[in-house]
Structures are given as structure tokens and as C-alpha cells.
Amino acid sequence: MAEAAQSTRKKIIFSGIQPTGTFTLGNYLGAVKNWGPLQDEYFCYYSIVNMHAITVRQDPKLLRENTLAAYALLLACGIDPQKSVAFIQSHVKTHAELSWVLSCFCQFGELSRMTQFKDKSAKHPEDINAGLFTYPVLMAADILLYQADLVPVGIDQKQHLELARNVAQRFNSVYGNTFTLPDGYIPKLAAKVMSLQDPTKKMSKSDENPKACIAILDKPETIIKKFKSAVTDSEAVVAYREGKDGINNLMSIYSAVTGKGFEEIEQEFVGKGYGDFKVAVGEAVVDELRPVRERFDELMKNKDYLETCYREGAAKAEAFSQRTLDKVHKKIGFFAK
Ligand code: TRP
């Protein structure tokens, strides 16, 4: 498959998802939902990045469960393991190997400037481990191993992507063309989903207020309840306008799941109150997520199938990435045994 990708010059996409338990409506509408349609146009690699996850302390049993669940959820959201390469990061040892080499091409200063490192070390002052510091190097290895052209990432990962690009450029300029320089990629239909309780903030699974965030696997009743208590304004007009952050957010969500434009939505709710609108958004989201949850439940009952998929994914990922790693080793002066 990797050969085919190269000979037809399909562009390569790589993205990683942390196995941290809850997938939110934000992750879904802003990212994963849009990955399915990319599979025909691009050659896609998707990885559950459990090696990144251990930069903060994890309970081993939970990490194991969450990794498998995240993998199943990826498939449930429409990633077809026959079309794309879907794998678990720790199963493919080239990631750790390239990461070491690249760490020798990253400066202490540039890693110190990473916003996520600064934020996370402020949050966990008791455990500022070296992995937290070199996290972006491992991420660069993920991307560069597959010669990815495009990397779908949120705004919070842009700085890391920039670092990957800089490292690739630096390496290429010393050793000749080795790595493809990756660009960020924002799917056309990606929606930015804000918190239901404070619509000026991004929807986040780590929000202290559980009503702020919809998890993909939330029960229908829970989803409706959370939408009913979403923060809006006192105007009682469904319209997309500056200053109406809450309503704008609900309209974006409704638009992303129904495909309706903002004007059409405004028309639909003329003369109706926010109560009706909120329930309509909630129900549309429930309808959208129902098949995902059903596929997820089915996959989780079929562990053998999941195992076949992640093993095959790892084998394909390894075959492709080993070629990049071999090239790198040769260039820097390591020889094969
Ligand atoms: N750091 C990314 C995040 O937290 C996850 C990630 C790891 C990733 N490796 C990647 C994303 C490679 C894109 C490409 O969201």
C-alpha cells in the first residue's frame, strides 16, 4: 500500500490521538468526523499515541483500556482499517528510535519555548519529567517517519507542528533531502466547538464543569440535558451574530451535524424560543452520535477483530516507517548489523 501511495503520489496524512478516555463532541466535529472522507483522496496514517500519554502519570490498567477504546472509537467514527493505516504508537518501535535521533537535532532553547511544556509543567510542578520536555520531538518523529505532507491538528498543536517542520528542514539541510516538510491541515467542514457553559472557551474534557462538555459516548438523555442547560443570552433570537457566543456555538454545532447553513437555521427557528432550539440541537447531536456509539459497542465486543486490525496496522506502519529510519541511520553514519 505504501508503494501505491508513492507511485500515484497521493498525499500522505498523519495524525495522532491521545488515549485519554473521553472523546468530545469537539474532537469529533472538529477533527475525526472529517477524517473519514479524506481516506479516498489521501493516504492516511492514524495513530493512538499512548507513548505521549505517559508523559503524565497513568494508571496502567486504565491506559490499556483507554488505548483500546480510543482505537475502537477511531474505527467507529469511520476510519476504515482497509483504507487507512490505523495503529497504536507503542507497537511500532521506529517512533522511539527516530525520536532519539531527532532529539539530537533539537535545541534545549526551542523545546523550552513550547507553550504546552510551559503550561503542563506549571500544572504538574511535582513531575516535570524529561518526556514532557521532549514530547514535541516524539511528535516530530511520528510525522516525519511517514513523510507526511499534511497533519490535521488543532490550533494548540500548531507550535509542535512548526517544530517538526523546522527539525526536518534542519536535518535535510545537513544531510540532503530526507524528510517531507509537513503542513497543517484544517478540513473545510471542521467546526470549532466551544464549551456549553462558557462559549468563549474551547470545549474541553478537562473542564471542571461536566455540563460544559459532550462526550461522544454520553447517553442520549445526558446529551439532551447538557444542551438544555447550555449558556445563551437574553435576546431570544436564533441568529449568528457577534456577541452571541452561546447561540453561535449551538448554531455551529447544529450546522455541522445537519449540514444546514446559518440562514436556513435562522429561518427554521423564527418565532421559536431558545428552549426549542436547544432541544433541536441536542436531538440532532444524539442522532449523529447514535451510529458511532452503536459501532463502538459492537467493536468493543469483538476484541479479536480489533486485535487483527491493530496488528495489521502496526505491520504496515512499521514497514513504511522503517524505510525512513534506515535512510536516516545511513545518513548519520550508523551501519546495519
Ligand atoms: N500532541 C497531539 C495532541 O495532543 C497528539 C499527537 C501526537 C499528534 N503525535 C502526533 C498529532 C502527530 C498530530 C501528529 O493532540
- pTM equals 0.91
Give the model's pLDDT for residue 172: 98
Degrees, nearest 5: CA angle 290-22-18: 120
Is 205 in the active site? Answer: yes
What are 110-145's pLDDT values in tens digits? 999 999 999 999 988 999 999 999 999 999 999 999
Indicate whether 327 and 255 sit together in one domain: no
Q: Which protein residue has the closest C-alpha to ligand 1 atom 7? A: 16
- Residue-wise pLDDT for 191-231, tens only, equals 889 999 999 999 988 888 999 999 999 999 999 999 999 99
Nearby residues of 326 by Cβ (< 8 Å), 6 or more positions away: 336
Is the Cβ–Cβ distance between 216 and 292 less than 8 Å?
yes
Chain centre distance of CA 33:
10
Pocket mutation for ligand 1, best pick of 12, 13, 17, 119 (most atoms within 8 Å of C-beta): 17
Q: What are phi and psi of 187, to 5 degrees?
A: -55, 145
Query: Could you tell me if 290 and 307 lie in one domain?
Result: no
Residue 286 lies in a domain: yes
- Domain of 24: which CATH number? 3.40.50.620
Are residues 225 and 187 part of one domain? no
Per residue in 61-92, pLDDT (tens digit) is: 999 999 999 999 999 999 999 999 999 999 99
Domain of residue 255: give its range.
210-296
- Residues 16 and 74: their CA atoms lie apart, in Å, by 11
Best residue among 45, 151, 157, 167 to mutate for probing ligand 1's pocket (most ligand atoms within 8 Å of CB) is 157
- Is residue 202 annotated as part of the catalytic site, yes or no? yes
Phi-psi region of 326 (alpha: psi -120 to 50; beta: other; left: phi over 0): alpha
List, edge to edge, every strand of the sheet that includes 183-184: 85-88, 43-48, 12-17, 150-151, 183-184
Give the model confidence (pLDDT) of 171-197 as tens digits: 999 999 999 999 999 777 778 899 999
Which residues' Cβ are closer than 6 Å to ligand 1? 14-16, 18, 49, 52, 139, 142-143, 151, 153, 157
